[in-house]
Structure 1
């Protein structure tokens, strides 16, 4: 069966962060182009790899990977709330197969997801319910983080299951690229912030408002450069995209996550989701990966990229 990959960056600053009208228009056009690619592919099932930002997953129990048997959007950063259209039977079968193949995944019958999962779909289609879905969380924010090799092996196992499913499966990822939002570290945070990182579900309106204001202020400072936030690095992003397009995904195995955080920022490890998605596609042989859009948007603290890929045999 045919597989394809759709990847796009997300950012909490997409709505209210600083960007000129031309940039906003080009981002909108990029999402429209990506949506057309998805519609033309006409998937029976969407499998999405994405991170969380201490909204649904916390240090009280922090898995490296988790398959959602059911999932609900929390509605942060102007995204909508409500249940995702999860195909629970398929999600359970996939999780069992992953464990059988030696990929340790948790499962959740009440997964809560944030803008990392749903924002790109709302930008493409106005809602996150366009396709039946299996969500897979990858820990990208709470060290210790999984390695690129583990993300690659997860993706390859997902790709084998998808290819054997008898369905047209769109594999998706969202995150990064170079991306340094002001995420606190549990090692240095004050006690009240540590508690939020450990068990911070359902924060008060006051806490939510303070968090939003802090991120918006950081984005405003990032436009002109600020020492506490790494600038978006288009060279790092280009090198990452070129590695994906090359098909040599094992080359990522040697990259240490501490180096990613040092060069691409605290949100840089979200690219684990992209590697997992392309690894799933790689199980079908060589692929063609198109860069649909890229812009280093400093006011959004994000290297905004969009890609779509299919097996080369399908392009013949």
Structure 2
């Protein structure tokens, strides 16, 4: 039994807008480094915490948390279509464990996972979304009101307790954030047409999806070509301080953060740091962990503060070192 963690920012513009060549090269080198680590680790189970961007979850029924017992790629941003390799019995057992430990985990036999979940799987699994068994867990990070950060941390801890009882090579992924403020419509200020999309926009036509994505691509490509009028708020100071909080496992601070605080400093997209909170708190159940910040850069062209972090339990690192010494 072993466990590793990767937390990573995602961006729908990864293949649709290019930052400066040196910036893009360094970011993609970091993606490759993490993919190589995943391949070497060869997990027998991935648990990924991710948000949704009104591709699979809508206001017609918006859970705070939802676990996929069966899941497919929503197909946005060319990730999919395809079926995720969800081990149904383990996923159901995890949902039941959460419910038995006072976490009201919703569950779906027809989850549509958008790029918040499918992009990391694509990057780390040679483009094969079903390469490894995976349990996807959605955390509402876009549709107000949002789950409280302390509750997100509690949920992550319960998931971690379940995972700790499994004889698996487990990879925990948190996919979201850091600071970014895309022009996501808000239901109380949107037009009736947009409100209807936010409530029941599931399974759009190919044309409708392409039109929606074209607006985002235009922003990214405009930024890449130096259009300063399109600049979106990124906050490197906040991002870097937050990365240190995750590295230090400072859950008291993380659990005290409010949606208002996050919105003020990290933008609307910054609410996705809940996925990192859940992933890190799940790992913390295994004891003190050692984390490394693999990469950080504020990349306007990708509309994201791009951060990447890895971690594993100190006890596991010590055990691995002692084993290697015995073999010398």
Give the TM-score, by structure 2 length. Answer: 0.92
Contact 1:180 1:229 in 2 (8 A): no
SS for the counterpart of 1:179 is coil
- Residue of structure 1 in register with 2:102 after alignment: 102
Unaligned regions of 5+ residues in structure 1, if any? none
- Residue of structure 2 in register with 1:128 after alignment: 129
Tell me, in whole angstroms, the C-alpha distance in 1 between the residues paired with 2:98 and 2:270: 26
Q: How far apart are residue 116 of structure 1 and its match?
A: 0.8
- Residue of structure 2 in register with 1:74 after alignment: 74
Tell me, in whole angstroms, the C-alpha distance in 2 between the residues paired with 1:308 and 1:130: 21
Contact 1:6 1:38 in 2 (8 A): no
Q: How far apart are residue 37 of structure 1 and its match?
A: 1.9
SS for the counterpart of 2:76 is coil
Q: In the TM superposition, what are the counterparts of 1:197-208 in structure 2 within 5 Å?
A: 197-208=198-209
Tell me, in whole angstroms, the C-alpha distance in 2 between the residues paired with 1:229 and 1:271: 21
- Residue of structure 2 in register with 1:165 after alignment: 166
- Give the stretch that moved more between structures: 298-307 or 229-238: 229-238
- Give the stretch that moved more between structures: 212-221 or 171-180: 212-221
Contact 2:231 2:300 in 1 (8 A): no
Q: How far apart are residue 35 of structure 1 and its match?
A: 1.3
Contact 2:76 2:209 in 1 (8 A): no
Tell me, in whole angstroms, the C-alpha distance in 1 between the residues paired with 2:140 and 2:155: 13
Contact 1:222 1:231 in 2 (8 A): no
1:184 aligns with 2:181: no
Tell me, in whole angstroms, the C-alpha distance in 2 between the residues paired with 1:255 and 1:29: 32
Q: How far apart are residue 227 of structure 1 and its match?
A: 7.2
Tell me, in whole angstroms, the C-alpha distance in 1 between the residues paired with 2:40 and 2:251: 27
Q: How far apart are residue 228 of structure 1 and its match?
A: 7.6
- Residue of structure 1 in register with 2:248 after alignment: 246
- Residue of structure 2 in register with 1:300 after alignment: 302
Q: How far apart are residue 247 of structure 1 and its match?
A: 1.4
SS for the counterpart of 2:287 is coil
Contact 1:287 1:312 in 2 (8 A): yes
Tell me, in whole angstroms, the C-alpha distance in 2 between the residues paired with 1:178 and 1:105: 27
If you compute each CA radius of gyration, which structure gives the higher value, 1 or 2?
2
Contact 2:232 2:300 in 1 (8 A): no
Contact 1:288 1:309 in 2 (8 A): yes
Contact 1:181 1:229 in 2 (8 A): no
The verdict on how the C-alpha distance between 1:99 and 1:285 changes in structure 2, with shifts beyond 3 A counting, is: same
Give the TM-score, by structure 1 length. Answer: 0.95
Contact 1:225 1:231 in 2 (8 A): no
Tell me, in whole angstroms, the C-alpha distance in 1 between the residues paired with 2:137 and 2:231: 28
- Residue of structure 2 in register with 1:65 after alignment: 65
Q: In the TM superposition, what are the counterparts of 1:205-220 in structure 2 within 5 Å?
A: 205-220=206-221
Contact 2:293 2:310 in 1 (8 A): yes
Contact 2:179 2:235 in 1 (8 A): yes
- Residue of structure 2 in register with 1:149 after alignment: 150
Q: How far apart are residue 204 of structure 1 and its match?
A: 2.6
Tell me, in whole angstroms, the C-alpha distance in 1 between the residues paired with 2:177 and 2:61: 24
The verdict on how the C-alpha distance between 1:226 and 1:30 changes in structure 2, with shifts beyond 3 A counting, is: same
The verdict on how the C-alpha distance between 1:255 and 1:225 changes in structure 2, with shifts beyond 3 A counting, is: farther
Deviation by residue 1:223-249 (Cα, 9 ceiling, x = unmatched): 657678642211111011000011121
Q: How far apart are residue 57 of structure 1 and its match?
A: 0.3
Q: How far apart are residue 112 of structure 1 and its match?
A: 0.5
- Residue of structure 1 in register with 2:257 after alignment: 255
SS for the counterpart of 1:294 is strand
SS for the counterpart of 2:43 is coil
The alignment's C-alpha RMSD in Å is 1.6
Tell me, in whole angstroms, the C-alpha distance in 2 between the residues paired with 1:292 and 1:11: 17
